[in-house]
Amino acid sequence: MTGRIHSIQTMGAVDGPGLRGVVFMQGCPLRCAYCHNPDTWTFEGGQEVTAEELCGKLLRYRSYYKNGGVTVSGGEPLMQGEFVAELFRLLQSEGIHTALDTSGIAPIEAARCVLPFTNLVLCDLKFTSDTLYRKYTGMPMQPVLDFLDEIEAAKVPFWVRHVVVPGMTDSDEEVASIFRICQRYQMFEKLELLPFKKICISKYQSMNLPFPLDATPECSPQRIQELYQMLNLD
């Protein structure tokens, strides 16, 4: 079984618990206004690998994965669901913790294929209304809510991540709504608020693409702290 990957990060510290190998899959159906990885968008690019080859590469770093494991991110990993399921199956058979970092936008069959081999889901909950979801990602929101229901049914623990963009997703009301959605689920474990940054601008420039949020300021660490305090999560 082969899949298309964009790149591998050997020691990631921000995509799930502990130190982790992080695989960035190639291809994403969304076009988030604040995307940091426009170079993962096309399904044609990247490098083709077999699940066995990729597992072998990741296992070379297994001594670093204590308290960690492997996270598959993107792009959108569920767009290559069968490949990710096979990779996770191989990793779990070696005792490696598996985390799926996803927007949740994918055919539900892909989720059903991957979740049985997933120890933790990191789900990016971007907006709380279909209107905003469509405006800033180009896709409807309902598949994401269906995906959260699917994680709950599969009894896989999950964290929710929310990128805090000034003037777009940073109001008390929007973040409180995100947290209310999370609290509907028994398998929900943690909310991570990620500050919007603009370090991706050079990627957009090199691809001759306009960055839609060029004029938007970065989110300050203070604002993130205030939001955690507002939710009593500090």
Our CB check for ligand SF4 shows the closer of 107 and 116 to be 107
Cβ atoms of 71 and 15 within 8 Å: the answer is yes
Binding to ligand SF4 in span 102-161, by CB under 6 A: 103
Separation in Å, CA 110 to CA 120, 152, 171: 16, 15, 33
Question: Does 35 help bind ligand SF4 (rule: CB under 6 A)?
Answer: yes
Of 2, 9, 37, 216, the residue at the interface with ligand SF4 (CB under 6 A) is 37
Our CB check for ligand SF4 shows the closer of 88 and 127 to be 127
CA distance 64 to 90: 18
Cβ atoms of 81 and 115 within 8 Å: the answer is no
Q: How far is the CB of 38 from ligand SF4 (least distance, A)?
A: 7
Our CB check for ligand SF4 shows the closer of 65 and 77 to be 77
Our CB check for ligand SF4 shows the closer of 15 and 76 to be 76
Cβ atoms of 212 and 33 within 8 Å: the answer is yes
CA distance 202 to 140: 29
CA distance 139 to 143: 9
x-or-dash string of contact with ligand SF4, 39-58, rule CB under 6 A: -x------------------
Residues that bind ligand SF4 (CB under 6 A): 28, 30-32, 35, 37, 40, 74-76, 103
